[in-house]
Amino acid sequence: MSKSKSSGKLSTHRSTSKGGANKTTPGLTQLSPLPPDPESLIGYAKLLKLRSKAESTQVDYLRYVRRIATRHGGDPSELTEAQVREHILHLKVEHGYSPSSMRTAVSALSGYYNQHLGRAWKLFDLVSSPSAQTLPMVLTREEIARLFSVVRTPRFLTVFRFIYACGLRIGEAVQLEVGDLRIEGRVRIRLAKGQKDREVPVPPAILQELREFWRTHRNPKFIFPGVGRGWRDGVSAPASLATSAEPMGVGSIQTCMRLAVAAARLPKGTVVHTLRHSYATHMLEEGVSIRLISAYLGHASLETTLVYTHLTAVNEASARDAIARLLPPRPTVASPVQVSHLLPPNTK
């Protein structure tokens, strides 16, 4: 049984015990062992790897299949289509799953039963979980400046400014490596959504900030290395960053954003991803081509990017100005005598 680094006391959590969930320790209540995955689920895990699903997607899919196995108390491969249908309805009605969670659950179960077990059930084609068509939250330029002004920790300020300046997802920003800054004026975003690399233009000021922050720790791999728990053992923050083998934790960035939103009195619902939405909207306001913005954001379809055209008043004003420039001057209204030769002859 391992000790907590913060308190020095024995930890009772299974994940901290050497030997896994089944190990017992004198004086502590024995935790019930986790049931092993059935062969069908082990095979499904291999299929997900073969299909090169993102690691987070693999975890989600396996969790949803384990959930139906736990609920029915057996191998999920033995369930009928009717039982799976009832389970999906249970998630929707009893648990109130959001449309996004329902789509993930259905995709997980469809992959398990249809693709892995070859059932060819029509059930999964019948489930519909459309999301409400809401517009994303966008901050004004003044609000962006106010947000940055309240962040005092250099690593969080740098990552926030980097995300906004390049329109990145939080997971893309923390994975930035030293070699990704070698192309002058651009930054390489590796293995983004859809396992695709892309290059995004980066302002010189942000490039300088990234390099200056890296010089504070000189980690051989990451621009934003994780602090880890070394500082709790007396290791200085720069030393901990310099030797870290993991990138900065997403959770710590989200926590800092919540505190900054409160301090800057920003609108409710502002999150780290709001910086990406704001980037796209402000780029449109500056007249940057929507096709370029779509490429910078890494969108697979231009339709995804078009939502930002509804978020900027500048675009509407520009459209009005463009139409005004295109419209020819109204001709002087002629008198009836002047246009009489253009009228059809009187047939009376």
- Do residues 116 and 145 share a domain? no
pLDDT tens digits along 40-72: 999 999 999 998 888 889 999 999 999 999 998
- Domain-embedded: residue 19: no
Domain that holds residue 44: 39-126
Is 299 part of the annotated catalytic residue set? yes
- Do residues 78 and 181 share a domain? no
How confident is the model at residue 277, as a pLDDT?
Answer: 93
Is 188 part of the annotated catalytic residue set? no
154: nearest Cα among 94, 49, 43, 241 = 241
Is 193 part of the annotated catalytic residue set? yes
CB within 8 A of 205, min separation 6: which ones? Answer: none
Residue 219 has pLDDT above 60, yes or no: yes
- Domains of the chain: total: 2
Is 71 part of the annotated catalytic residue set? no
How confident is the model at residue 288, as a pLDDT?
Answer: 85
Residue 123 has pLDDT above 60, yes or no: yes
- Do residues 153 and 214 share a domain? yes
Mean pLDDT score of the chain:
81
Is 113 part of the annotated catalytic residue set? no
- Do residues 156 and 299 share a domain? yes
- Domain-embedded: residue 1: no
Query: What's the pTM?
Result: 0.65
The domain spanning residue 88 has which CATH number?
1.10.150.130
Which residue of the set 169, 217, 277, 282 is catalytic?
A: 169
* Coarse DSSP helix, strand, coil percentages of the chain, rounded to the nearest 5 percent: 55, 5, 40
Which residue of the set 14, 85, 193, 198 is catalytic?
A: 193
- Do residues 180 and 82 share a domain? no
- Domain-embedded: residue 254: yes
Which residue of the set 217, 276, 277, 282 is catalytic?
A: 276
Strands 186-189 and 198-201: antiparallel
- Do residues 89 and 115 share a domain? yes
Tokens representing 33 are: 């062992």
Instruction: Give the length of the chain.
Output: 348
Tokens representing 104 are: 């993930």
Which residue of the set 53, 119, 198, 299 is catalytic?
A: 299
Is 169 part of the annotated catalytic residue set? yes
How confident is the model at residue 77, as a pLDDT?
Answer: 93
- Domain-embedded: residue 243: yes
